[in-house]
Structure 1
Amino acid sequence: MSNKQEELETLAQSQRFDITGINERWWDESSDWNALLDGCKPFIRYRQGRRGPLMYAMQRLECMEEVTAGNNIPVRIKGQTNNVDVIIGVYYRPPGQDYDVDKLFLDELRDTSKSTALVLMGNFNLPEINCEHHTADTTWARRFLKILDDNFMEQVLMELTQKDALLDLLLVNGVDPVSEGDIGGCLGHSDHEVIEFEIL
């Protein structure tokens, strides 16, 4: 990710994003992730020598990271005026996780889904899911879809986000909580598309 840091900073500062999420970031000591975006508070999961998520929130937002046992980042954003709090999460599920880690991942996803207003973004590495028809070819992917159904979550992206696959998902609950995602452009040599959306 270090080769994309300058491009990420330029994009985030020029667009003035309230929240910036990165779902696959290699952790190493060459990058100061705490100082990357001016005026933003970082939420980081350190996984030495492995990929992990990262989120930046503008400092003017009143927010606090939710406690989880896994490697994902759910952050509670305090609602303005009479609005409810919103949980915004950045998730990364590596391909080929073992059963116990995947079970923890699903348990955490189910627990987070109990929030009144929820927006989760990330790379779930589930190319076997057909989002248009809400079907899946593997047992684990079907469990994932069942968690979404049981907890009233919906996947709102339909365009491909990585080459010929839809790996990056945008999960929400409630009625029309986000605008239609704008998908397009990559940072550096990444093969994942940048996704922009507005929380309504």
Structure 2
Amino acid sequence: MENYVLIAVTETWWDESHYWSMVIDGYKLFKRVRQGRRGGGVALYAKTRIDCVELSFKSSNAQVKSLWVEIRHQVNEGKFMVGVYYRPSDQGDEVDEEFILQLQKPSCLQAPVWIADINHLDICWKSSTANCEQSRKLLECVEYIFLV
């Protein structure tokens, strides 16, 4: 594992009682634990030598489980963002809508690297098609910011 600079985890089943088991020597941990339900959290480990900071794209809906971290390149002073997202299959349209708004924020700043576990039964990612309007809206947003 020491060869990996970044490690993303989706659908974590962690809560604060598991903090001791989340630590990996040589890595900083950024995490979002899902409150009140099991599963669904997200995490990103970054090598401690990497200059990185968690970005605050807070959602008005606590059910949106996403995490954004800015990675700064020390040599050429460039930077990029890494986003980690989990969407459960039973997530409602309101939460999807809130996530779409959140996804549009970092895309305005810089091209993101996005790691996601999107359990959306109505979207066929292979053919980029969806049947219902809300599903198409999420798919179009993802395509618009060049994620597909």
Taking structure 2 as the reference length, the TM-score comes to 0.83
Match of 1:128 in 2: 122
- The Cα of 1:35 is off from its aligned counterpart by 5.0
Distance in 2 (CA, whole Å) between partners of 1:19 and 1:107 is 26
| 8 Å contact kept, 1:87–1:117 | yes
Distance in 1 (CA, whole Å) between partners of 2:16 and 2:101 is 31
Match of 1:23 in 2: 10
Distance in 1 (CA, whole Å) between partners of 2:112 and 2:70 is 9
Task: Please give the per-residue CA displacement for 1:52-79, whole angstroms capped at 9, x wherever unaligned.
Answer: 1011100101000110223311100002
Distance in 2 (CA, whole Å) between partners of 1:100 and 1:38 is 38
- The Cα of 1:140 is off from its aligned counterpart by 2.0
Which range is displaced more, 142-151 or 67-76? 142-151
Match of 2:88 in 1: 94
Structure holding more strand per residue = 2
Instruction: Give percent identity, aligned residues only.
Output: 32
Match of 2:46 in 1: 57
Which range is displaced more, 79-88 or 54-63? 79-88
Match of 1:112 in 2: 106
**Runs of 4+ off more than 4 Å:** none
Aligned partner of residue 144 in structure 1, secondary structure: helix
Bigger relative contact order, structure 1 or 2 (CA pairs below 8 A, ≥6 apart): 2
Aligned partner of residue 31 in structure 1, secondary structure: helix
Distance in 2 (CA, whole Å) between partners of 1:121 and 1:40 is 18
Q: Residue 132 and residue 100 in structure 1: after superposition, are their counterparts in 2 closer, same or farther (change >3 A)?
A: closer
The answer on 1:85 being equivalent to 2:74 is no
Aligned partner of residue 109 in structure 2, secondary structure: coil
Aligned residues: 141
Q: Residue 96 and residue 138 in structure 1: after superposition, are their counterparts in 2 closer, same or farther (change >3 A)?
A: same
Equivalent AA in structure 2 for residue 154 of structure 1: L
- The Cα of 1:40 is off from its aligned counterpart by 0.4
